[in-house]
Amino acid sequence: MRCSIFNCDKKHMNQCCALCPDLRRCKNPCLNHPDRCGKLRAETPREIAVAAGVRYIGKNEAARILDSGETTGEYKPLGRFIRKAGRKFVGIDNRDGDAWTEEFSTEAACVRWLVEDVPREECGPWSPFMER
């Protein structure tokens, strides 16, 4: 969970100090607690993706990844990527060099597929605007 008002000096993100395992060693902790301040919030899909090592890329880098394996069959660089393309999100799972690619109507569904390793069918319905 994230804090909507406090930014951790060590982790450089909106981490709730009450839930942090390093709280006792922290030099500048938040003195509030979620029960008192009410500022605890859920993580956004982007925060979840970045914490899991997923990179957000543009059109050119996505094309470069997908073109890299045409002759060798080994796509590079390895990793997990998200590209926003109009009103859809394209997830590229290239952890093993095979560049599995799926389209999603929401960022949350794309992140779920990439981070949680769930089948595409469990990440939400196919949206009609994707076929445009």
**pLDDT digit string (tens) for 4-58?**
888 888 888 888 888 888 888 888 888 888 888 888 888 899 999 998 999 999 9
**How many H helices and E strands in the chain?**
4, 6
d(CA 50, CA 82): 10
Q: Is the dihedral of CA 111, 112, 116, 122 positive or negative?
A: negative
d(CA 15, CA 91): 26
Contact 82, 56 (CB under 8 A): yes
Task: Report pTM.
Answer: 0.77
